[in-house]
Structure 1
């Protein structure tokens, strides 16, 4: 039973977005809810059938076949093609034609094309940007409402309201499932890239209490980013920069947890476990990102990650260069997290006293466990164990992650 549940969760993450994109292309974007109903019925059928009869040899193929059959059953009951996207009605006048068309849409290259179209439809300018990103995370990336809420530092109720308003807008707005060109491209692409990065971050540093790393989410973010890089219109320098950043970060997967599942910080990671192939991918995409004269936040973050990825040890990291890059990043992105990371870098580059000074200026982070953990670390370096323990204990009360709680508790024990 556990095997079925684990496989189902993995496949639903990876395949539900693909099926939803294909079926939304079939039914039309205003009929997104119809496509979603078919996908949910398909996933429910899989759970019921697999628990009784075992996992099929080709579970992905089983899902696709079931989804196709459910579409045809639905259309037979309606006895019309009324639910089908209007531009297809004239070409599909029989069930056989519909069957052939659906089979065609489920070919790999058509699935990828449908996902691209869906991404850009979700980012239509008639929708607020936060709604655009929420739609992508929910529909294409398979994130749950709590996961999206964590990504936005919000709550479940707000995310549900945002989705409801977005769906209501979709039903009443003529939105085409097409990849835009010209002036319409960049604003939508920016929202897509942000959604992909949020997806990666939820996998890389999840706030799930029991699962610190969700590798499948990072893999999905890399897949969607690669999809954009392979399209002639969306293969822009900032796309390559984001892929570079994600590859550098993903290269450290195997070193981020020890054998007991406890977190291992960057300073103590075994760099021999870092994936050199991924680091080389990061370098290649960073080189591709240098084409043109645009400097996005992804360019700078990728450059920052490259210094860490290519340093022989934590001690030999070029922290002065990293401080410089964070100051450059501040000019593009003035978020408190950028200021926080800059403060950390200052502490490593110029000493713990300077790091503490920079951190204490960030009053808005006083309810953040990373903030208190960082202060505790710097006070520990100064042998001020009282102040270090105080900040560690505050951090314990602010984290929901079991892995982070264990790490902070270990720091207290070491004092």
Structure 2
């Protein structure tokens, strides 16, 4: 029961927080979260005695709705709630309260409210770190300690980020709505960036004992679909990001062995790759390609697609991948992009030339993969002592036990 309710509570809490924030106003986000928490506690206590109801989602919605009515009656004569706009005035009258409140819980409107919640979380004045924390808390049902653990920071730090964001909503009387049309595209790019960062942390977790955080990955895809399913927020950049996430997620089951150790791309069992997700990624990439511009998401999705379409590692089209990285680097001259570009360069030109390319990148001395890859090149060139020194540097630069195990394995082979 515990595992079932945990999954259900995460899934439904995001819906309920969005609906209740719409009802109470973004300034009262904390109250919306408190009502959801009370609802989940009541569910746990009741279901332990009576068992899980036949329609648990409907049960949760009904209880949350009743608690919302209590809060409206309690606060309607205070300054906490703003019922001045036309669509919310009906909540201020006992005659229309119940009927009006029902409209917020209609199934066909829930996704729309979740979408608006996501855009509120990504208000431009809020830092990217706080945006992600808000999204995880409000839409994905994560607790403050869980968010802190996922990003290797303290509960207090996350609490402060959430408090500052909520205080911004209160001070600016943030409306529960999508931005105006002239602001929508720019805000959508911020939302996509938050989803991208969330997905990356799930795909290759920098702070968790688990390299892959499936909960973060699948929540990122869910949020991406919310954007793509709405004609107002759908964009070619969003479709490209969805394609990218589908291609990477398709390889999820082949990246770790049963003991949780990393399986490198070259050794992965490609029969385990999810063909349905790859095909879905192709559909999104085809839709994304109909636009007039190419974003970094387009290029990264195309790179991921080249890996997915290769029958095996040897037959990967490394020249195409290198060309795509050259294109990506033109728009994003980050050291990480430069580093990733050296990998296909190595496959085409060999270790010696790749080492010279790697030496051109000066900003990655504290990046463990830089030293690990450098060690691989040095080993191939017959310089085992220098390779071991680079592996030792890499070992000191990661906190992931999974990644450390890979490095130690490579060091053992180098010593032979």
Uncovered stretches (5+) of structure 2, i.e. residues with no partner: none
Q: How does 1:7-406 map to 2 (within 5 A)?
A: 7-50=4-47, 55-78=52-75, 83-86=80-83, 87=85, 88-94=87-93, 97-128=96-127, 131-143=130-142, 159-406=158-405
Shift of the alpha carbon at 1:93?
Answer: 4.6
RMSD over aligned Cα atoms: 2.8
Looking at structure 2, the residues matched to 407 and 50 of structure 1 have their Cα atoms a distance apart, in angstroms, of 45
CA distance in 2, matches of 1:145, 1:364: 33
Higher deviation after alignment, 205-214 or 167-176: 205-214
SS at the partner of 2:363?
helix
2:410 maps to what in 1?
Answer: 411
Question: 1:71, CA displacement in angstroms?
Answer: 1.9
Q: CA-to-partner distance for each residue in 1:49-98, whole Å, 9 max, x for gaps?
A: 55566555544344333322322333344475865452355213555743
Aligned residue for 1:91, secondary structure, equals helix
The 8 Å contact of residues 17 and 140 in structure 1, kept in 2 or not, is answered as yes
Maintained 8 Å contact 2:121/2:135: yes
Render the CA deviation track for 1:365-389: whole Å, top value 9, x for unaligned. 2222222222222233334332333
- The answer (yes or no) to whether the contact 1:181–1:233 under 8 Å persists in 2 is no
How much does 1:31 deviate?
Answer: 1.4
1:304/1:9 CA distance change after superposition, 3 Å? same
Distance 2:396 2:376 in 1: 17
**TM norm structure 2:** 0.88
Whether the 8 Å CA contact 1:262–1:407 is kept in 2: the answer is yes
Q: Judging changes above 3 Å, is the alpha-carbon distance between structure 1 residues 402 and 62 closer, same or farther for their aligned structure 2 residues?
A: farther
SS of 1:264's partner is coil
| 1:408 aligned counterpart, secondary structure | helix
Q: Distance in 1 between matches of 2:73 and 2:412?
A: 67
SS in 2 for 1:278: helix
Whether contact under 8 Å (1:117, 1:177) holds in the other structure is yes
- Of 275-284 and 36-45, more deviation after overlay is shown by 36-45
Alpha-carbon displacement from aligned partner over 1:263-317 (angstroms, at most 9, x marks no partner): 2111111111111111111111111111121111101111111111101111111
Which deviates more from structure 2 when the two are superposed, residues 384-393 or residues 345-354?
384-393
Q: For the structure 1 residues 269 and 104, does the alpha-carbon distance in structure 2 shift closer, same or farther, using more than 3 Å as the test?
A: same
Listed as ranges, the gaps of 5+ residues in structure 1 are none
Give the match's secondary structure for 2:90.
coil
CA distance in 1, matches of 2:348, 2:142: 38
2:152/2:207 contact within 8 Å kept: no
Contact 1:18 1:140 (8 Å CA) reproduced: yes
Rounded Cα–Cα distance in structure 2 between residues aligned with 1:195 and 1:7: 28
Aligned residues of 1:26 and 1:84 also touching (Cα < 8 A):
no
Given that residues 10 and 216 in structure 1 are in contact (C-alpha distance below 8 angstroms), is that contact kept between their aligned partners in structure 2?
Answer: no
Aligned residues: 412
Give the whole-Å Cα distance in 1 for the aligned partners of 2:393 and 2:100.
59
**1:313 partner SS:** coil
**Aligned-partner SS, 1:141:** coil
2:323 & 2:142 partners in 1: Cα distance?
Answer: 35
Q: CA deviation at 1:231?
A: 1.1
Structure 1 residue 46 displacement after superposition:
4.1
Query: If the length of structure 1 is used for normalisation, what is the TM-score?
Result: 0.88
